[in-house]
Amino acid sequence: MSMQSAQSAQGYVTADGRKIGGPVMEMENITLRFGGVTAIQDISFDILEGEIRAIIGPNGAGKSSMLNVINGFYHPQEGRILYHGEERKPLKPYQIAYQGIARTFQNIALFKGMTTLDNIMTGRLTHMKTNLLSQALWWGRAEKEEVENREIVEKIIDFLEIQTIRKTPVGRLPYGLQKRVELGRALAAEPSLLLLDEPMAGMNVEEKEDMSRFILDVNDEFGTTIALIEHDMGVVMDIADRVVVMDYGKKIGDGTPAEVRSNQAVIDAYLGVSHD
Amino acid sequence: MGESISDKGQCDTLPALLAYNVKNFGNQPAYREKEYGIWQSWTWAEAGAEIRNLSLGLLSIGVKTGDYIAIIGRNRPHLYWAMLAAQEVRAIPVPVYQDSVADEIAYVLEHCEARFVFAENQEQVDKVLDIKDKLPNLEAILFLDPRGMRKYDRAHLHDYREIQLEGQKAPAKLVKERDKRLQEQSGKDSCAMLYTSGTTGRPKGVVLSNDNIIKTSQASCEFDGLKSTDSVLAYLPMAWVGDFIFSIGQATWTGFCVCCPENTETMQHDLKEIGPSYFFAPPRYFEGVLTDVMIRMEDAGFVQRHLFNSFMGHAQKVGGAILDGQAVSPMDKLKYQLGKIFVYGPLLNTLGMSNIRVGYTAGEAIGPEIFNFYRSLGINLKQLYGQTEASVFITQQPDGQVRSDTVGVPSPGVELRIDDKGEVFYRSPGVFVEYFKNPESTKDTKDKEGWVATGDAGFIENESGHLRIIDRAKDVGKMKDGRLFAPKYVENKLKFFPTILEAVLFGAGMDRCTAFINIDLQAVGNWAERHNIAYSSYQELAGHPEVYGMVKDHIDEVNRSLADDEMLSGCQVHRFLILHKELDADDGELTRTRKVRRRVIEEKFKELIDALYGGKGEIFTKTEVTYEDGSKGAISATLRIEDAVIAKAGASQGEAA
């Protein structure tokens, strides 16, 4: 832990030369309960600016709950959350959307009947200032605003290489592409923190490789801070800068992939321990 | 105008023609590319400036006269400029197939001793970096799309646009150097080196001079009356000689506009938006589109289907005649006009073919039904016959003399000769200079008088003077009893069925013929859906008894038509099997232009061929496959072997099955 806090204070430089800055989000002694069930128990960790932070753990470890705590959807019963250095109060849904944290979902949550383009455009919503009426009439500032936002969306479409499906309703797309569209929508919000809930779940090797590349490229090109939950250990160890390991709602490890890999508690959680 | 034409006639290099276009068509669009969802365009003046900056930039990083510069990427204006910029400073562009795996790229780059490489993006840069230890001559890589390369070591890696900026502020010394090199070059200089796809063995570097390209472009443009207002969609591999002639040679000669799709997969959509007036596609493309249309019509409502069928029937009857300007009855003409409003017009628009004035197909035989389908819609689709060694054009079909079974008359300036073995020879201004670093092959292919062996067997029809190609000369063989064995002829007949993607016929030196069949997943998949046949993989579908039944019907039909052909009746298919995997260029079974590599297949699937000639009804096999990233795996399957029905030749006694 001591090394961790040292890193948190002034950031660090990764092996491949990226500069990681100060903390974007700090979780201090978080406990989250649903009735009698304790989903998260006294967990502390931080997410630093510009890094790829992974949260891993076996099924039911509390990873998705943790993600929901990070984006403000769940409010923990105990503990403090510092976002950009300030303590975050419980948020209303619309405030969650405006705080600059974008996410994707484990079970894709896109508008199935809308095209890829329109879906990604919805990600720009928090950046649009004109009112409903002028948008509906396509008049005055609304027109200019839509053109500006469309340009940003087109850059994202180009970035994610989904030009082919620009005008295709997302319901008709294969799973891997839908995941990519969802990432596109999250990117469109230009988040300061991007949360990815199992971005590789259900993908084949090739799709996983593509997605890994996109995640690394997003981090590299836009400097976006990314926190992701993932099941596939191989992927996590390849792309994450630091990893938090959870098991039964508790944190059992935290550090670089190499450190986590050699951590006995983590090995036990994943491979099981003999009880004789 | 007369003056400017004579002016143009004096341009004996592509850079000179470029300068001519900048002067004469400065404000006309030269290049278009769809990017960020919008068509961007560059006029000849703008393109000229971009190319000038790039060529000065190339000088600033030390490009020497005679350097080979490889270009790897999909069709993009910037990469076409890279070729022209290289030519401006007397370097020789070598476009490389972008979907080649690292090994293939390594061979080409090593062979041509490329000092510089233009790579479109990170993927291509990585490929080159992977093999850089094998390339002692490599000085630097220039990349177009910087994405993902922020952390790369920039010592030998340059951003295309930064090099252009470098060129923009180039000192007077370099500007003078560029002018000097522009002055020095002539028509005899190498214009480009293109590697042949290599149906046999390693690819060979075909050196084409400026004279080759310009004279061929001039003749072919005049043949079809191409103008500066025409446009073409550049979507075929840049390393292929056809794209070089269309998008560089002819475009620079006439000044027409080259349009590049947004990416490879959006081609069909971009084609619709651009509506080019000049279009080339391999038969495979036309087949694919037709299959697609038919599948969609089968799923359409009753009214639409009825309209489509009745008007298409009418078009089949009179459409070709109307296109060729022959007389048809006023009633038929009226019905055709109506069809144009209700069916042909909207269909062509959807296919992006509304504006096509000149359309070509080549490379493989095209099925008569497919060919006639497009012609009946009013598309002036013609065939040509060409080779890299000829700067494409050997023969082509003049307007009004178009048939599916010939490849046309000799192109302007081309002489044809058929030798006693039936092999086709030609001589033309487009004939290549040499195979790079391979004088032996050059000597084998091109004789002292400049005649080039095509390697194809064919004959010239007496009445029409059109050339007909039967097969590759070395593939045309004899069966055990001396009858003619022309595999490609039979394979093409099989491939004309939409459900058969690929076929490979065996039988040279044997007493009977057998075949491998590859099904077309899309067409057969749709067929399966309509027949309530469930399947979970390509392999399972390919092995399905009902699919076997359908393929057998097709083979029986081909056998019947072969039986009537006196020369080729011996080539009837006796036994066949449906392969458990698609033949793939990554596995070396096809060339990059998707031609069957017979020898490779014979070697790789030897046990299957033996089984075809043995008596067994099924065989277990395990096949190595290569994935896109170069890693290998294996698939295994038990394949069924079935007998086909051998037809009796007309009245003559024929043989028993």
Q: What is the pLDDT of residues B58-68, one digit of tens each?
A: 999 999 999 99
User: What pLDDT is attached to residue A166?
Assistant: 92
Ranking A11-25, B270-284, B322-336 by mean pLDDT, the lowest is A11-25
Tell me the shortest Cα–Cα distance from B236 to chain A, in angstroms.
Answer: 18
Q: Give the mutation candidate from A117, A152, A164, A218 for the B interface (greatest B CB count, under 10 A).
A: A164
Instruction: Inspect the interface and report whether the beta carbons of B35 and A158 lie closer than 8 Å.
Output: yes
Examine the pLDDT at B3 and tell me if it is beyond 60.
no
Using CA atoms, how far residue A184 sits from A124, A158, A164, B231, B489, in Å, is 11, 10, 14, 34, 49
Instruction: Inspect the interface and report whether the beta carbons of A164 and B269 lie closer than 8 Å.
Output: yes
Average pLDDT over residues B225-233: 94
Q: Give the mutation candidate from B36, B147, B628, B631 for the A interface (greatest A CB count, under 10 A).
A: B36
CATH tag, B477-643: 3.30.300.30
- Residue A206 forms contact with B (CB below 8 Å): yes
- Radius of gyration over every alpha carbon of chain B, rounded to an integer in angstroms: 26
Q: What is the pLDDT of residues B11-30, one digit of tens each?
A: 999 999 999 999 999 999 99
User: What pLDDT is attached to residue B657?
Assistant: 34
**Is residue B548 a contact partner of residue B575, using CB atoms and an 8 Å limit?**
no
User: What pLDDT is attached to residue B284?
Assistant: 84
Which of A 1-30 lie inside 8 A of B, CB atoms? 16-18
Q: What is the pLDDT of residues B383-398, one digit of tens each?
A: 999 999 999 999 999 9
User: What pLDDT is attached to residue B143?
Assistant: 97
Average pLDDT over residues B265-289: 92
Residue closest to B362 by CA, chosen among B456, B267, B286: B286
Q: What angle do CA A72, A77, A83 make, to 5 degrees?
A: 35
Residue closest to B208 by CA, chosen among B413, B65, B391: B391
Three-state SS for B191?
strand
**Is residue B212 a contact partner of residue B189, using CB atoms and an 8 Å limit?**
no
Three-state SS for B455?
strand
Residue A184 to residue B558: CA distance in whole angstroms: 51
Instruction: Inspect the interface and report whether the beta carbons of B147 and A155 lie closer than 8 Å.
Output: no
Q: What is the pLDDT of residues B464-511, one digit of tens each?
A: 899 988 787 877 888 888 887 888 888 888 988 888 999 999 988 889
CB < 8 Å to B628, chain A: 206
User: What pLDDT is attached to residue B652?
Assistant: 37
- Residue A231 forms contact with B (CB below 8 Å): no
Query: Which secondary-structure segment (H or E) carries B500?
Result: strand B500-506
User: What pLDDT is attached to residue A204?
Assistant: 86
Residue A19 to residue B122: CA distance in whole angstroms: 22
**CATH label, B2-280, candidates 3.40.50.12780, 3.30.1370.110, 3.40.50.360, 3.40.50.720:** 3.40.50.12780
Which two structure tokens, joined as six digits, stand for B174?
A: 């370099």
Residue closest to B81 by CA, chosen among B185, B167, B202, B172: B167
- Residue A86 forms contact with B (CB below 8 Å): no
Give me the count of residues in chain A: 276
Rounded to whole angstroms, the maximal C-alpha distance in chain A is 75
Closest partner residue to A164 (CB to CB) among B35, B38, B265 is B265
User: What pLDDT is attached to residue A215?
Assistant: 93
User: What pLDDT is attached to residue B572?
Assistant: 92
**CATH label, A2-100+191-271, candidates 3.40.50.740, 3.30.470.20, 3.90.1150.10, 3.40.50.300:** 3.40.50.300
Instruction: Inspect the interface and report whether the beta carbons of B262 and A221 lie closer than 8 Å.
Output: no
| A249 Rama class: left (phi>0) / alpha (psi -120 to 50) / beta | left
Q: What is the pLDDT of residues B620-654, one digit of tens each?
A: 888 888 877 778 888 888 888 989 988 876 533 33
Closest partner residue to B148 (CB to CB) among A18, A163, A220 is A220
**Is residue B250 a contact partner of residue B258, using CB atoms and an 8 Å limit?**
no
CB < 8 Å to B151, chain A: 16-18, 220
ipTM of the complex: 0.76
User: What pLDDT is attached to residue A271?
Assistant: 72
Examine the pLDDT at B357 and tell me if it is beyond 50.
yes
Instruction: Inspect the interface and report whether the beta carbons of A221 and B147 lie closer than 8 Å.
Output: yes
Cβ atoms within 10 Å of A231's Cβ, excluding its own: 16
Q: Where do the domains of chain B lie? A: 2-280, 477-643
Examine the pLDDT at B346 and tell me if it is beyond 60.
yes
- Radius of gyration over every alpha carbon of chain A, rounded to an integer in angstroms: 19
Cβ atoms within 10 Å of A169's Cβ, excluding its own: 16
Mean pLDDT of chain B: 90
Examine the pLDDT at B225 and tell me if it is beyond 90.
yes
Q: What is the pLDDT of residues B81-113, one digit of tens each?
A: 999 999 999 999 999 998 888 888 999 999 999
Examine the pLDDT at B228 and tell me if it is beyond 70.
yes
**Comparing B569 with B125, which gets the higher pLDDT?**
B125
Q: Where do the domains of chain A lie? A: 2-100+191-271
CB < 8 Å to B150, chain A: 220-221
**Strands ordered across the beta sheet of B205-209:** B190-195, B205-209, B434-435
Q: pLDDT band at B568, cuts 50/70/90?
A: confident
- Residue A112 forms contact with B (CB below 8 Å): no
Q: pLDDT band at B148, cuts 50/70/90?
A: confident
Tell me the average confidence (pLDDT) per consecutive run of 10 residues in chain A, 276 residues long. Answer: 45 79 91 91 92 89 90 90 89 84 87 94 86 78 88 93 92 91 94 91 87 91 91 86 91 90 84 67
Q: pLDDT band at B429, cuts 50/70/90?
A: very high
Residue B572 to residue B575: CA distance in whole angstroms: 9
Q: pLDDT band at B618, cuts 50/70/90?
A: confident
Instruction: Inspect the interface and report whether the beta carbons of B36 and A17 lie closer than 8 Å.
Output: no
**Is residue A175 a contact partner of residue A84, using CB atoms and an 8 Å limit?**
no
Which two structure tokens, joined as six digits, stand for A45?
A: 């960790």
**Is residue A54 a contact partner of residue A233, using CB atoms and an 8 Å limit?**
no
Average pLDDT over residues B136-140: 94
Residue A116 to residue B37: CA distance in whole angstroms: 13
Query: Which residues touch A161 (CB under 8 Å, ≥6 apart)?
Result: B263
User: What pLDDT is attached to residue B475?
Assistant: 78
Instruction: Inspect the interface and report whether the beta carbons of A216 and B265 lie closer than 8 Å.
Output: no
**Comparing B2 with B248, which gets the higher pLDDT?**
B248
B interface with A, Cβ–Cβ < 8 A, is 35-38, 147-148, 150-151, 262-263, 265-266, 269, 627-629
Instruction: Inspect the interface and report whether the beta carbons of A164 and B266 lie closer than 8 Å.
Output: yes
Residue A177 to residue A182: CA distance in whole angstroms: 9
User: What pLDDT is attached to residue B173?
Assistant: 95
User: What pLDDT is attached to residue A276?
Assistant: 59
List b or e across B318-329, with b for residues whose CB sees 16 or more CB atoms inside 10 angstroms. bbbbbbeeeeee
Nearest residue in chain B measured CA to CA from A19 = B151
Instruction: Inspect the interface and report whether the beta carbons of A221 and B150 lie closer than 8 Å.
Output: yes
Q: pLDDT band at B551, cuts 50/70/90?
A: very high
Nearest residue in chain A measured CA to CA from B267 = A164
Which two structure tokens, joined as six digits, stand for A58?
A: 């076996």
Transcribe B204-224 into DSSP letters: -EEEEEHHHHHHHHHHHHHHH
Q: What phi and psi values does residue B284 have, to the nearest 5 degrees? A: -50, -40
Query: Which residues touch B424 (CB under 8 Å, ≥6 apart)?
Result: B394, B416, B417, B418, B453, B454, B456, B457, B458, B467, B469
CB < 8 Å to B37, chain A: 150, 154, 157, 163, 166
Tell me the shortest Cα–Cα distance from A220 to chain B, in angstroms.
Answer: 7
Query: Which residues touch B259 (CB under 8 Å, ≥6 apart)?
Result: B31, B32, B33, B39, B231, B232, B233, B234, B270, B274, B276
pTM above 0.90, yes or no: no
Nearest residue in chain B measured CA to CA from A14 = B151
Which two structure tokens, joined as six digits, stand for B553?
A: 């019907």
Residue B74 to residue B119: CA distance in whole angstroms: 10
User: What pLDDT is attached to residue B437?
Assistant: 92
